[in-house]
């Protein structure tokens, strides 16, 4: 399987980039920075429009089986007040990801977004999964909120693990801080072949990330596909 991730610091326009890449939106001005590569990516700055177009075309023409986005890929982790950025019932996100999956015949693990539940007024850190036909096959509300970053003061936690089948493969889904909770992951993964893990894991704890992702793969004998966000060095806790 070929897997491609899109990542970048908050506010750079990852959602706009996706819409532009697939022809849903025409760029009016500004520029695009692309992070692309086999391991960790190659940071590309000051590229000409032609070079940018070529790299974006490479991503699309490689026809990946799965497109994986990181945690909070639309707004970053996380601006205040998050209510101003939350997607009401995930409507806009679900529409975009469904269109993208169907147009390019690609499965999408939609990272996560801030979702406003219109019925309760609560905000959740929610991930959506779409198949190649643009059908939503799963959704997951992050269970373990990152209390050191006060995520639990802003978001409501989910309650249920997430398992689903994608093209005959048994899959599980968790988000970032969930990685540290072995008992929860044992319920989530069970007999899964693949664990998808969108994240916004800080570079400060990069070694923890490396060790834990490898450990979970060994512990549960499953492939762990982790897509982490990225941020600039100016951030207090830059991402990797």
Q: How far is CA 215 from CA 19, 191, 194, 222, 232, in A?
A: 36, 16, 14, 10, 28
Asked if 173 contacts 207 with a C-beta cutoff of 8 angstroms, the reply is no
Q: What is the CA radius of gyration of the chain?
A: 17
Q: If DSSP codes are grouped into helix, strand and coil, which group holds residue 192?
A: coil
Q: How far is CA 150 from CA 121, 142, 156, 165, 185, in A?
A: 19, 14, 11, 33, 22
Q: Which is catalytic among the residues 10, 14, 71, 162?
A: 71
Q: Measured between alpha carbons, how far is 218 from 20 in angstroms, rounded to an integer?
A: 39
Q: Which is catalytic among the residues 10, 14, 162, 176?
A: 176
Residue 71 known to be catalytic: yes
Q: Which is catalytic among the residues 14, 142, 162, 171?
A: 142
Angle at 231 between CA 225 and CA 232, to 5 degrees: 150
Residue 176 known to be catalytic: yes
Give, as one character, the DSSP assignment of residue 148. G
Tallying the residues shown for the chain, one arrives at: 240
Asked if 202 contacts 236 with a C-beta cutoff of 8 angstroms, the reply is no
Question: Annotated active-site positions, please?
Answer: 71, 142, 176
């Amino acid at each position: 399987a070929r897997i491609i991730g899109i990542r970048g610091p908050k506010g750079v326009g990852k959602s706009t980039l996706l819409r532009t890449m697939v022809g849903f939106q025409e760029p009016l001005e500004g520029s695009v920075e692309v992070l692309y590569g086999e391991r960790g990516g190659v940071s590309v700055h000051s590229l000409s429009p032609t070079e940018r177009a070529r790299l974006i075309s490479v991503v699309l023409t490689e026809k990946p089986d799965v497109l994986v986005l990181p945690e909070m890929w639309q707004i970053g982790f996380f601006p205040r007040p998050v209510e101003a950025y939350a997607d009401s019932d995930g409507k806009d996100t679900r529409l975009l990801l469904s269109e993208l999956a169907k147009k390019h015949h690609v499965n999408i693990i939609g990272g996560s977004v801030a979702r406003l539940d219109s019925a309760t007024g609560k905000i959740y850190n929610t991930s959506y999964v779409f198949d190649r036909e643009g059908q939503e096959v799963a959704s997951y509300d992050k269970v373990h909120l990152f209390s050191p970053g006060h995520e639990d003061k802003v978001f409501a936690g989910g309650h249920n693990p997430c398992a689903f089948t994608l093209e005959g493969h048994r899959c599980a889904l968790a988000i970032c801080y969930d990685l540290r909770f072995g008992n929860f992951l044992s319920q989530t993964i069970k007999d899964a072949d693949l664990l998808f893990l969108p994240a916004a894991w800080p570079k400060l704890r990069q070694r923890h990330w490396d060790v834990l992702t490898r450990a979970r793969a060994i512990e549960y004998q499953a492939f762990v596909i982790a897509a982490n966000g990225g941020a600039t060095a100016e951030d207090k806790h830059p991402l990797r």
